[in-house]
Amino acid sequence: MTYLPSLKETDPEIRDLIMEEETREWNKMRLIPSENYASHAVMEATGSVLTNKYSEGYAKKRYYEGQQMVDQVEILAIERAKKMFNMPHANVQPYSGSPANMAVYHAVLEHGDTIMGLALPHGGHLTHGWKVNFSGKTYNSSPYELDPETELLNYDKILEQAKEVRPKMIIAGYTAYPRIIDFVKFREICDEVGALFHADTSHITGLIVGGVHPSPYPMADTGITTSHKTLRGPRGAMILCQEEHAVKIDKAIIPGLQGGPHNNTTAAIAVALKEADTQEFKDYAAQIVANAKTLAEQLNSHGFRLVTGGTDNHLILFETLKCKGISGRDAARALDKAGIVTNCNTVPFDTGSPFNPSGVRIGTPAVTSRGMKEAEMKKLGDWMSAAIDNADDNAKLASIAQEVEELCESFDCPGITPSNWA
């Protein structure tokens, strides 16, 4: 039998870095809303022999032989996605959310068509028509904004704008919007102006399947979601659409944008969808929201200004510059030194640079995956306030980091086994 050296033997530098990352994810509070802990089962599928197989094409229609098992894996993932989202067609091959959006646009739009998505500085995504992205360069983008008084979606204003610009597509779904999205309103707006309704539920898919956020499916003409974030799957994506768009969307993925799918990721998506179809996952989704609300209330009690005044989902966006006299970038760096991992973020109508914005974005999916609940969120809010108030005091930040680590030691991390650190 051929000797197969371990990663430790083959590349100890990379192995050590991976172990250090495991330690970091175990010892710190991870509050970046797009991050989570994938289960051991998901990671097992991701690291399986399916990574060895090339499978250009679709199940039962490949350009390579030896697809007997791969085809079954992809069919399972597709059928689970169709059932979970109540949509007639699903494509599980996109490598990530951005190419998934690109494929949808290429399939149903013509270059130069007008699209409407939330402006990036207000919580939208680059691929929803922002000017530096392909979507803003390829299509005539007319971004809508949040209401300057409430910082909420103003559906009357969105309709008014849609009547004026007559978009071919309106996009709903965001990266930094902490409130419930009224997808029924978007469907009505699209119908009134004759636009396609495209949903990007990447951030909230886990909340949707968990029953704590309304679903745009099956109302949407097209939709995409990443498979990680609140869904707790691998780093991949799915496209969902009505049957009339299925052929064009499949062709937009291959041969349009991609070659062979990552079969290991497809398998892991199937596993994540099966995990999400349980009462345990529904309880987890409800706890995400409960934790976010508690953390928001605690931050508010410490004098932070919360965008929209609070949250309805997994995400909290709060301003630091005016209320604490510190930029979002400096606040996020202080929090990291204190063992609390966040990301700086623009707030609506921010006057700061995207590289040095006025706010911080946080979310509760990862800490909820560890089993933390409201009591831990209150402690976390206190620590965050203390860290930002003492951003220049390295000793104080180190002291908070030690307290954070001690709390984290009491909660396991899905998919991470401390014994691996030996």
- Tell me the pLDDT tens digit for each residue of 105-137: 999 999 999 999 999 999 999 999 999 999 999
Residues 262 and 237 sit within 8 Å (Cβ to Cβ): no
Is residue 15 part of the annotated active site? The answer reads: no
pLDDT band at residue 259 under the 50/70/90 scheme: very high
Say which of 25, 74, 145, 200 is annotated catalytic.
200
Which residues are CB-contacts of 241 (< 8 A; sequence separation ≥ 6)? Answer: 87, 88, 89, 91, 104, 221, 222, 223, 249
Long-range Cβ contacts of 15-23 (<8 Å, 24+ apart): 19/420, 19/421, 22/416, 22/420, 22/421, 23/421
The token pair that represents 155 in the structure block:
């559906």
DSSP 253: I
Residues 388 and 382 sit within 8 Å (Cβ to Cβ): no
Say if residue 2's pLDDT is above 80. no
As a whole number of angstroms, the distance between CA 100 and CA 36 comes to 21
Is residue 56 part of the annotated active site? The answer reads: yes
Query: What pLDDT sits at residue 1?
Result: 52
Average pLDDT, rounded, for the chain = 96
- Tell me the pLDDT tens digit for each residue of 260-273: 999 999 999 999 99
CATH of domain 280-415: 3.90.1150.10
Query: What pLDDT sits at residue 419?
Result: 53
Say if residue 421's pLDDT is above 50. no
Which residues are CB-contacts of 278 (< 8 A; sequence separation ≥ 6)? Answer: none
Specify the higher pLDDT residue, 20 or 419. 20
Looking at 3.90.1300.10, 3.40.640.10, 3.30.365.10, 3.10.20.440, the CATH number of the domain 44-276 comes to 3.40.640.10
Query: What pLDDT sits at residue 420?
Result: 53
Say which of 56, 71, 147, 405 is annotated catalytic.
56
Say if residue 39's pLDDT is above 60. yes
- Tell me the pLDDT tens digit for each residue of 362-404: 999 999 999 999 999 999 999 999 999 999 999 999 999 999 9
Say if residue 342's pLDDT is above 90. yes
- Tell me the pLDDT tens digit for each residue of 195-205: 999 999 999 99
Is residue 54 part of the annotated active site? The answer reads: yes
**CATH 3.40.640.10 domain extents, the chain:** 44-276
Say which of 15, 62, 82, 235 is annotated catalytic.
235
Alpha-helical (H) ranges within 305-413 are: 321-324, 328-337, 365-369, 374-389, 394-408
**CATH 3.90.1150.10 domain extents, the chain:** 280-415
Say which of 80, 179, 229, 305 is annotated catalytic.
229
pLDDT band at residue 46 under the 50/70/90 scheme: very high
Query: What pLDDT sits at residue 290?
Result: 98
- Tell me the pLDDT tens digit for each residue of 146-187: 999 999 999 999 999 999 999 999 999 999 999 999 999 999
